[in-house]
């Protein structure tokens, strides 16, 4: 009888090794991005994600391109938003007062 915990650990190690590759198969790319195969097909058929089809049939992904695609829409932290707002207010106050800052 095989230990289920051991099997899970082996699956995890196998997936980590796969993610060290530069070129991923379609299935590996979907697993890497953590979406279903059907969603992967939807993204590739709509040309919404970068992929390659060297022989015209099989789909491959460049891992670095997938990473860029996954991180393409960063969300600013509250601290970044507050800093931008502060800078905006400070600069506009200077412009409104002719370059002088009033307290």
pTM, two decimal places = 0.66
Q: Of all residues in the chain, what percent carry a pLDDT higher than 90?
A: 65
Q: What is the pLDDT averaged over residues 59-73?
A: 96
Beta carbons within 8 Å of 58's beta carbon, 6+ residues apart: 25, 26
The predicted structure's pLDDT at residue 12: 80
pLDDT of residue 15: 74
Tell me the C-alpha to C-alpha distance, in Å, between residue 72 and each of 41, 52, 86. Answer: 20, 19, 26
Higher pLDDT, 89 or 13: 89
Angstrom distance (rounded) from CA 61 to CA 16: 16
Per-residue pLDDT, averaged over 18-32, amounts to 90
Tell me the per-residue pLDDT of 84-99, one tens digit each, with 9 for 90 and over.
Answer: 999 999 888 767 666 5
């Amino acid at each position: 009888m095989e230990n289920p915990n051991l099997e899970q650990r082996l699956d995890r190690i196998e997936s980590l090794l796969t993610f060290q590759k530069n070129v991923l198969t379609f299935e590996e790319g979907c697993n890497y991005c953590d979406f279903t195969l059907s969603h992967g097909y939807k993204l590739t058929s709509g040309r919404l994600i970068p992929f390659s089809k060297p022989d015209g049939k099989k789909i491959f992904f460049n891992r670095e391109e997938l990473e860029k695609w996954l991180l393409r829409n960063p969300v600013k932290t509250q601290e970044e938003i507050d800093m931008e707002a502060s800078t905006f207010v400070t600069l506009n106050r200077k412009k409104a007062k002719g370059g002088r800052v009033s307290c």
